[in-house]
């Protein structure tokens, strides 16, 4: 072979004294090739500087890319700061990796590829992992391409497998816990209803225009118990945004202050706790704070956040199992996973000077 020529599978097979099909089976890890023959083929490949079959050509032959896309609701920076999102993605990869399938993360805001680019990205399937955005143009584009899709907590679309949790019931259970403690003046800190940079008190029009199913379900669970309550929307699910919303709700005269704040995520609740501390308020003596997710937030210790725990890793595993079912030509069932209340040290009775 000329010095400048690129080594091929055929040249490796010739040097190893086997057929090209046997060499191909060896690189594919087939048990039909004996260990001795496989080693001879790999030795020949190393001698010739052959790195293996062209993955693009292999994917064209298989009509598979070996890649599943995972859409996350915000910038990837925020996803990697969110313990719940990390657990979910870890659960997905736990199932996909043994099948030789990789995960491509796609952001849910301006960091997402343009639709023209998304139309060309080779994907075996896609999971709308932490989005739940109704009317998402990416979802419709991928449906038109015939890419198998799984949605986690929404959007709910006929014909698409749904992996869900009971956000509304879980929030209602947490709200009843606060009501049973004696709270009547409760406020909420919500995740974004839309990714348009809006923050502040949520009015009826804003709630109606919200495109994130999870946010609306968790608000509904609180309303089921307390009726309409003041709700402060954040621009992102991060601690700093929770602190900003917490200051807006708590930095008011005592008679106007809610006795309990229910945040829609543990990260937002951690921000409310920070705001309460900066304002000199004791938790839970002056104000109770609760969250949702059951995330591991070691910096809060010894404080234990009262929260609704969801099985984030199992949610990811269920989504990935649904993908593998779709790729095998089967129709997976919808899944609704349980959530449960964990009472910590951040909720207690309202202050004595507050009238019911």
Determine the Cα–Cα distance for residues 38 and 34; give it in Å rounded to an integer. 6
CB 327 within 8 A of CB 148: yes
334 shares its domain with 258: no
What is the tens place of the pLDDT at every residue in 321-353? Answer: 999 999 999 999 999 999 999 999 999 999 986
Does residue 145 form part of some domain? yes
In this prediction, residue 356 carries a pLDDT of: 56
What is the tens place of the pLDDT at every residue in 273-303? Answer: 999 999 999 999 999 999 999 998 999 999 9
Determine the Cα–Cα distance for residues 135 and 190; give it in Å rounded to an integer. 20
Determine the Cα–Cα distance for residues 271 and 245; give it in Å rounded to an integer. 8
Mean pLDDT of 202-208: 88
Residue with tokens 């001879």: 40
In this prediction, residue 60 carries a pLDDT of: 43
193 shares its domain with 150: no
In order of 107, 221, 227, 244, 300, the CA distances from 203 in angstroms are 28, 17, 14, 18, 32
Greater pLDDT, 36 or 210? 36
87 shares its domain with 191: no
Q: Token digits for 345?
A: 């040290």
Q: Which residues contact 205 (CB under 8 A, 6 or more apart)?
A: none
Does residue 58 form part of some domain? no
Determine the Cα–Cα distance for residues 280 and 133; give it in Å rounded to an integer. 38
Q: Token digits for 182?
A: 């004696």
Does residue 126 form part of some domain? yes
- How does strand 306-309 pair with strand 340-342? antiparallel
Residue with tokens 């048990």: 31
Provide the number of structural domains found in the chain. Answer: 3
228 shares its domain with 103: no
pTM over 0.85: no
Q: What is the CATH number of the domain that holds 158?
A: 3.40.50.2300
Backbone φ and ψ for 256, nearest 5 degrees, come out as -100, -5
318: left (phi over 0), alpha (psi -120 to 50) or beta: alpha
The C-alpha angle with vertex 118 and arms to 234 and 325, in degrees rounded to 5, equals 90
Beta strands, E only, the chain: 67-71, 102-106, 125-128, 149-152, 162-165, 186-190, 200-201, 231-233, 260-263, 288-293, 306-309, 335-337, 340-342
What is the tens place of the pLDDT at every residue in 119-130? Answer: 778 889 999 988
- On the question of a cis peptide bond just before residue 284, with omega within 30 degrees of 0, the verdict is yes
Alpha-carbon torsion, ordered 144, 148, 151, 155, to 10 deg: 20
298 shares its domain with 206: yes
Does residue 284 form part of some domain? yes
Confidence of residue 354 (pLDDT cuts 50, 70, 90): low
43 shares its domain with 100: no
46 shares its domain with 160: no
In this prediction, residue 252 carries a pLDDT of: 96
Does residue 344 form part of some domain? no
Q: What is the DSSP letter of 80?
A: T
197 shares its domain with 294: yes
Domain range for residue 31? 9-53
300 shares its domain with 317: no
Does residue 345 form part of some domain? no
Three-state DSSP class for residue 288? strand
Determine the Cα–Cα distance for residues 38 and 274; give it in Å rounded to an integer. 60
What H or E segment, with its residue span, contains residue 16?
helix 9-16
Does residue 264 form part of some domain? yes
Q: What is the DSSP letter of 261?
A: E
Give the residue from 304, 297, 305, 301 showing the smallest Cα distance to 263: 305
185 shares its domain with 304: yes
What is the tens place of the pLDDT at every residue in 134-159? Answer: 778 888 888 888 899 999 998 888 99
Mean pLDDT of 201-220: 89
């Amino acid at each position: 072979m000329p010095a400048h020529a690129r080594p091929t599978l055929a040249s490796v097979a010739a040097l190893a004294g086997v057929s090209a099909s046997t060499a191909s089976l060896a690189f594919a890890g087939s048990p039909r090739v004996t260990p001795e023959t496989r080693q001879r083929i790999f030795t020949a490949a190393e001698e010739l500087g052959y790195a293996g079959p062209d993955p693009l050509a292999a994917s064209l032959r298989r009509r598979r890319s070996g890649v599943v896309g995972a859409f996350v609701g915000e910038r990837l920076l925020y996803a990697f700061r969110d313990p719940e999102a990390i657990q979910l993605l870890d659960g997905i990869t736990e199932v996909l990796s043994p099948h030789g399938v990789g995960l491509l993360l796609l952001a849910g805001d301006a960091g997402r590829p343009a639709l023209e680019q998304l139309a060309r990205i080779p994907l075996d399937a896609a999971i709308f992992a932490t989005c739940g955005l109704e009317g998402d143009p990416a979802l419709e584009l991928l449906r038109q391409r015939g890419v198998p899709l799984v949605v986690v907590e929404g959007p709910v679309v006929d014909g698409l497998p749904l992996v869900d949790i009971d956000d509304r019931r879980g929030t209602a259970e947490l709200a009843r816990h606060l009501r049973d403690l004696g709270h009547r003046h409760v406020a909420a800190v919500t995740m974004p209803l839309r990714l348009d940079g809006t923050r502040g008190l949520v009015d009826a029009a804003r709630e109606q225009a919200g495109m994130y199913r999870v946010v609306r379900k968790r608000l509904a669970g609180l309303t089921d118990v307390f009726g309409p309550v003041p709700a402060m929307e954040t621009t992102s699910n991060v601690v700093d945004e929770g602190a900003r919303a917490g200051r807006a709700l708590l930095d008011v005269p005592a008679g106007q202050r809610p006795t309990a704040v229910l945040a829609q995520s543990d990260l937002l609740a951690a921000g409310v706790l920070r705001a309460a501390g900066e304002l000199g308020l004791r938790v839970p003596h002056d104000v109770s704070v609760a969250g949702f997710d059951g995330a591991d937030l070691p910096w809060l210790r010894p404080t234990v956040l009262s929260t609704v725990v969801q099985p984030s890793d199992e949610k990811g595993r269920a989504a990935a199992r649904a993908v593998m079912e779709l790729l095998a030509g089967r129709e997976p069932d919808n899944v609704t996973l349980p959530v449960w209340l964990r009472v910590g040290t951040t909720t207690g009775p309202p202050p004595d000077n507050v009238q019911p």
